[in-house]
């Protein structure tokens, strides 16, 4: 992968990866660090000549593993923004965070997503937010495509129950 | 509320995105990370923990140094300072050789040294003169080395092999500078003569076991071929005796006189036992019989 190709790939995916990481860490700084780590690892793999069939799915898989490592080191579970505030954590005040806090609808959907099973949240965000295909999600989560379809269906039902 | 509304709500999360400047900043950080990793790839030597592998590293260096020096020394000539290393290596080779091959290996080493002497450029170099002297001494000690061997057959074999080597050395010595040639040729001649006489002596020993042994063997043959004397022997015993007689013959031809003597003695024992048995039987029967011992 040339530098230009890598730059294009980065521009196409940085928002998605950052969002993926932010929604699972609730921290702008951590999401930024983990995004850097994910893209760096992706670049290393491509430099080492690893065969990458679906670069986007591969990047998300790396991001997922980076996130697992992050929590393994931190030995803590992700908390919602409110929970973090309650625990006295100082939340980085980025412009978009301020906007998010002001948007009640976003706050609600985030809160609801926290209430459903983590695997349901995972498939919903990957499929409906990041527009990843069933095949890509099955690669990232190491599950069969049929299982992903079932999970998606159940996740939607769970979300409906919580929202309405 | 329909699924469509849910999707719309989820899509609201797309607002979580980075500004262009933030994206550029992150990309710069990724590039920085890539560059530092590449630097690390090439700077592995500076991070190498030499102290941890110190012993192994020094040992490997020593092996490399020793093997390269030895290779250089192997091609050196007597007037070179490295030649003493070659001599040391050759002496070690002789010292670690088995006793039965020592003389042969020494002869080959001496041949090599003579060859080096032939190629030496400065004949008056004290190192060259020293080598010539030691070569003479070593040549003279060769026959003694051979006599250290235990078996006559081995002495003969080694002597013959060394004789061949010294013959080749004679050819080489003709090309040695004149100053050294005479003395080396004399030493070679002396050694050759000693080895030749050793060969003759050993062959004589092998082929001529003491005459009394030959006579003994002949007597035993006559005795055991006489049907009158062996009538009391069972067929198995007769076969055994015949085999032993053949073995004695072979041992004597091979120069193993001691082995032959042992076998002759065992046959004499058998003979004695049978004679006594016959005597005993004859006294019981009270019939006159001729004592085998009288024979």
Distance from C-alpha of A23 to C-alpha of A77, rounded to nearest angstrom = 12
Give percent of chain A with pLDDT exceeding 90: 23
Q: Does B23 touch chain A (CB under 8 A)?
A: yes
Taking the model in full, what pTM does it have? 0.42
Q: Considering only the beta carbons, identify the residue of A14, A39, A129 that sits closest to B18.
A: A14
Look-up of token digits 């973090």: A84
Q: What residues of A are in contact with residue B12 (Cβ under 8 Å)?
A: 103, 105-106, 109
Band the pLDDT of B291: cuts 50, 70, 90: very low
Whether residue B30 and residue A22 make contact (CB cut-off 8 A), yes or no, is no
Q: What confidence score (pLDDT) does residue B231 get?
A: 79
Instruction: Tally the domains of chain B.
Output: 2
Which residues touch A83 (CB under 8 Å, ≥6 apart)? Answer: none
The SS3 of residue A80 is coil
Q: Could you list the residue range(s) of the whole structural domain that residue B184 is in?
A: 60-207
Name the pLDDT band for B114 (thresholds 50, 70, 90): confident
Shortest CB distance from B16 goes to which of A14, A19, A159?
A19
Mean pLDDT of A134-152: 91
CB-nearest partner of A156 from B3, B15, B34: B3
Tell me the CATH number at A67: 1.10.1740
Rg (C-alpha) for chain A, rounded Å, is 16
B4 in a structural domain = no
Chain A neighbors of B24, CB-CB under 8 A: none
How near does any CA of chain B get to the CA of A74, in Å?
22
**A36 → chain B, closest CA residue:** B30
Least confident range of A15-24, A85-94, B52-61 = A85-94
d(CA B46, CA B49): 8
Same domain, A4 and A54: yes
- Tell whether A75 and A109 lie within a shared domain: no
Task: Write out residues 36-95 of B within 8 Å (CB-CB) of A.
Answer: 37
For residue B157, give Cα distances in angstroms to A58, B161, B202, B207.
77, 6, 10, 15
Residues B80 and B200 in one domain: yes
Residues of chain A contacting residue B11, judged by C-beta atoms under 8 Å apart:
128-129
- For residue A127, the 8-state DSSP code is I
**Alpha-carbon torsion, ordered B233, B237, B242, B243, to 10 deg:** -170
**B127 within some domain:** yes
CB A23 within 8 A of CB A92: no
Residues A32/B31, Cβ–Cβ less than 8 Å: no
Q: Which of B110, B240, A103 is nearest to B102 (CA)?
A: B110
Q: Say whether both B118 and B146 belong to one domain.
A: yes
In a domain, A146, yes or no: yes
ipTM above 0.95, yes or no: no
pLDDT band at B48 (very low <50, low <70, confident <90, very high): low
B34 with A43: Cβ contact below 8 A: yes
pLDDT for residue A62 is more than 80: yes
Is the same domain home to A54 and A16? yes
Q: Would you list the DSSP string of chain B?
A: --HHHHHHHHHGGGG----HHHHHHHHHHHHHHHHHHHHHHHTHHHH--TTTTHHHHHHHHHHHHHHHHHHHHHT--TTSTTHHHHHHHHHHHHHTS-HHHHHHHHHHHHHHHHHHHHH-S-TT-HHHHHHHHHHHHHHHHHHHHHHT-S-HHHHHHHHHHHHHHHHHHHHHHTTS-HHHHHHHHHHHHHHHHHHHHHHHHHHHHHH---HHHHHHHHHHHHHHH-TTTTTTS-HHHHHHHHHHHHHHHHHHHTT-HHHHHHHHHHHHHHHHHHHHHHHHHHHHHT-----TTT-
Task: Tell me the percentage of chain B whose pLDDT exceeds 70.
Answer: 87
Closest to A164 (Cβ–Cβ): which among B1, B13, B26?
B1
Contact across the interface for A103 and B18, Cβ inside 8 Å: no
* Mean pLDDT value of segment B273-279: 75
Structure token pair of residue B68: 């390269």
Where residue A102 falls among pLDDT bands split at 50, 70, 90? low
Facing residue for B33 by CB, picked from A36, A108, A164: A36
As for how many domains chain A has, the answer is 2
Residue in B9, B20, B24, B32 to test binding to A, most A beta-carbons within 10 Å: B9
pLDDT of residue A75: 63
């Amino acid at each position: 992968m040339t530098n230009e190709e890598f730059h294009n790939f980065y521009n196409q995916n940085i928002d998605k990866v950052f969002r993926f990481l932010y929604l699972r860490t609730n921290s702008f700084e951590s999401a930024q660090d983990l995004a850097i780590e994910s893209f760096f690892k992706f670049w290393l793999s491509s430099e080492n000549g690893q065969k990458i069939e679906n670069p986007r799915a591969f990047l998300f898989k790396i991001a997922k593993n980076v996130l697992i490592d992050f929590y393994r080191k931190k030995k803590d579970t992700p908390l919602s923004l409110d929970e973090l505030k309650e625990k006295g954590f100082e939340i980085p005040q980025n412009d978009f965070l301020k906007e998010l806090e002001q948007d009640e609808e976003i706050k609600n959907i985030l809160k609801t997503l926290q209430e459903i099973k983590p695997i349901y949240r995972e498939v919903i965000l990957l499929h409906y937010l990041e527009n990843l295909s069933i095949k890509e999600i099955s690669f990232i989560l190491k599950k069969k495509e049929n299982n992903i379809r079932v999970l998606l269906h159940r996740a939607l039902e769970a979300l409906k129950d919580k929202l309405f | 509320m329909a699924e469509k509304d849910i999707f719309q709500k989820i899509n609201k999360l797309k607002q979580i995105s980075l500004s262009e400047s933030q994206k550029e900043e992150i990309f710069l950080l990724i590039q920085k990370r890539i560059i530092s990793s590449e630097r690390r790839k090439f700077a592995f030597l500076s991070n190498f923990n030499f102290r941890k592998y110190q012993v192994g590293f020094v040992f490997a260096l020593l092996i490399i140094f020793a093997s390269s020096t030895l290779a250089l020394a192997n091609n050196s000539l007597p007037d070179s300072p490295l030649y003493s290393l070659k001599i040391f290596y050759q002496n070690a080779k002789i010292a670690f050789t088995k006793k039965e091959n020592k003389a042969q290996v020494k002869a080959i080493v001496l041949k090599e040294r003579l060859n080096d002497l032939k190629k030496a450029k400065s004949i008056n170099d004290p190192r060259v003169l020293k080598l010539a002297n030691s070569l003479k001494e070593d040549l003279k000690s060769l026959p003694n080395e051979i006599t250290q061997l235990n078996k006559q057959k081995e002495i003969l074999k080694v002597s013959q092999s060394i004789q061949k080597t010294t013959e080749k050395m004679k050819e080489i010595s003709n090309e040695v500078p004149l100053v050294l040639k005479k003395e080396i040729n004399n030493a070679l001649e002396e050694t050759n003569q000693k080895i030749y006489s050793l060969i003759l002596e050993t062959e004589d020993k092998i082929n001529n076991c003491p005459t009394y042994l030959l006579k003994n063997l002949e007597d035993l043959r006559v005795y055991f071929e006489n049907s009158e004397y062996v009538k009391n022997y069972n067929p198995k015993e007769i076969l055994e005796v015949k085999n032993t007689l053949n073995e004695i013959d072979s041992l004597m031809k091979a120069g193993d006189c001691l082995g032959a003597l042992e076998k002759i003695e065992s046959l004499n024992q058998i003979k004695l036992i049978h004679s006594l048995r016959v005597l005993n039987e004859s006294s019981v029967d009270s019939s006159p019989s001729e004592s085998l011992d009288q024979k």
